[in-house]
Amino acid sequence: MSKAESTGKSDRDKIAMSEQEWRSKLTPEQFYVTRDHGTERAFSHPYHEEKDAGMYRCVCCGAPLFSSETKYDSGTGWPSFFAPAEDGAVSEHEDRSFFTRRTEVRCAKCEAHLGHVFPDGPKPTGARYCINGVALQLDKGEQGDKASK
Ligand SMILES: [Zn+2]
């Protein structure tokens, strides 16, 4: 069961599960996107045009990632946000696949691949977080920063 994926240090709050555990927890498409760095087809997921208010959580671990308040219609066919729910909610990594340079966005808590961030978003941040709908779970019961701790 143990995959050779130890980081050497125990990051607090991090979630580490084996590939097998994720497979049993996620649907094949969720696994493909979040653990295998896949990309859903544009316009394939209803969240790209979702208008309801709420918190978009990580489909893997439930961490709050993006608030509906930062969601906008980018016309790309993927859910797009101009900012994460809070600083540190997502982590950014350079992605050199496909011979291009993009910045990959992952859930900071469980390392789920979410999508990419591009510098052509709207004000006030100028960032466009282009996120796979299957990586998200809209929690309509919680809005913005009403953190219930
Ligand atoms: Zn997560």
- Interatomic CA distance for residues 48 and 52, integer angstroms: 11
| pTM for the model | 0.84
What does the pLDDT look like over 35-48, one tens digit per residue? 999 999 999 999 99
Domain boundaries, the chain: 19-139
What is the sign, positive or negative, of the torsion defined by CA atoms of 114, 69, 61, 44?
negative
Which residues fall within 8 angstroms of residue 87, CB to CB, at 6 or more apart?
none
Question: Catalytic annotation on 130?
Answer: yes
Higher pLDDT, 128 or 96: 128
What does the pLDDT look like over 57-112, one tens digit per residue? 999 999 999 999 999 999 999 999 999 999 999 999 998 876 778 999 999 999 99
130 is written with which tokens? 């282009």
Q: Which of 60, 61, 110, 130 is catalytic?
A: 130
What pLDDT was estimated at residue 97? 74
Q: How confident is the model at residue 147 (pLDDT cuts 50, 70, 90)?
A: very low
Quote the CATH superfamily of domain 19-139.
Peptide methionine sulfoxide reductase. (2.170.150.20)
**Terminal C-alpha separation, the chain:** 33
Mean pLDDT of the residues in the chain: 89
Distance 110 CA to ligand 1 centre (A): 4
The candidate with the shortest Cα–Cα distance to 58, out of 89, 37, 94, is: 89
Distance 45 CA to ligand 1 centre (A): 19
What pLDDT was estimated at residue 99? 73
96 is written with which tokens? 């050199």
Q: How many CB atoms lie within 10 A of CB 129?
A: 27
- Interatomic CA distance for residues 140 and 19, integer angstroms: 29
Give the type of residue at 81. F
Q: How many CB atoms lie within 10 A of CB 64?
A: 19
